[in-house]
Amino acid sequence: MKAVIPAAGKGTRLAGLTLERPKAMVPVHDKPCLEHIINALSQAGIKEIIIITGHLSECIESYFKDGSAWGVQITYVRQDMEGKYGTGYAVHLTADLVGDSPFLMTYGDVLVPFENYSGIVERYRERPVDALIGVNWVEDPYKGAAVYVDEEGKVVKIIEKPPKGTAGTHWNNAGVIIFSPVVFEYTAQLTPSERGEYELTEAIQRMHGDRREIHAYFLQGYWRDIGTPADLQAAGEMLRQKHK
């Protein structure tokens, strides 16, 4: 199974840390965030990786090159940062490279143990669905996307960045999802959201509206993004403790 990593973001909330590097290349503990992700994918046996670059693309492409130094094969797709923007459009750009097979999408600013990658792939192979969404428990998913799951583990709704205190669920879209290629039918139909972005969550909602099968996969262990300086500091401390 191939992995797709959206890594085009500027990371505006990280201020000066992303003036000379994309968000995914901000150091966490001892190496760039994206390098931790690639290492984890490799450990999980996922060796073909497609990275979507955008802001300061060359920084990522010159660092990882073809991926052979990490034991993987990397292909790059560039997202025009002056054109369509958002995770939905970023994923759509990989359609030709992904082809007719399911793929694992994992955000370039989210850290999880490699066991979650191997676990979600194993679960998907046991029961293929149109989308298997990795979710993690948070106090309030207002900074991410609230995921509503029924008693059978099916996803019934997903809301991008709900107002604080309004979600009514603790499950957050962890940014680790396996899609069947049918998702590209829906990313092709996207229009800009209120934020002006082509949202992947909107594609998932449209899939749900068409009664596509969407299930949740409950992640184990740590989950960290690096969206803010405080998040970055917490992620670094977590990895320092982990590698003691």
For position 89, what pLDDT does the model report? 95
Contact between 155 and 214 under an 8 Å Cβ cutoff? The reply is yes
- CA-CA distance, 21 to 57, in Å (whole number)? 9
pLDDT (mean) for 35-64: 97
Q: What percent of the chain has pLDDT over 70?
A: 100
What pLDDT is recorded for position 22? 93
Q: Give per-residue pLDDT as tens, 120-134.
A: 999 999 999 999 999
Q: How far apart are CA 197 and CA 190, in angstroms?
A: 9
Q: What is the mean pLDDT of the chain?
A: 94
Report the DSSP pairing between strands 131-137 and 48-53.
Answer: unpaired
Q: Which domain holds residue 194?
A: 2-242
Q: Which two tokens stand for residue 136?
A: 């993690």
Q: What's the pLDDT tens digit per position in 161-183? A: 899 999 999 999 999 999 999 99
Helix axes 114-126, 33-43, angle to 10 degrees: 50
Cα-to-chain-centroid distance, residue 177 = 7
Determine the 3-state secondary structure of 240 from DSSP.
helix
CB 201 within 8 A of CB 162: no
**How does residue 237 score in pLDDT terms, banded at 50, 70 and 90?**
very high
Read off the CATH number of the domain in which 92 is found: 3.90.550.10
Evaluate if residue 82 carries a pLDDT over 80: no
Q: Based on the structure, what is the number of domains in the chain?
A: 1
Q: What DSSP letter does each residue of 168-214 carry, written as one string?
A: ---EEEEEEEEE-TTHHHHHTT----TTSS--HHHHHHHHHHTT--E
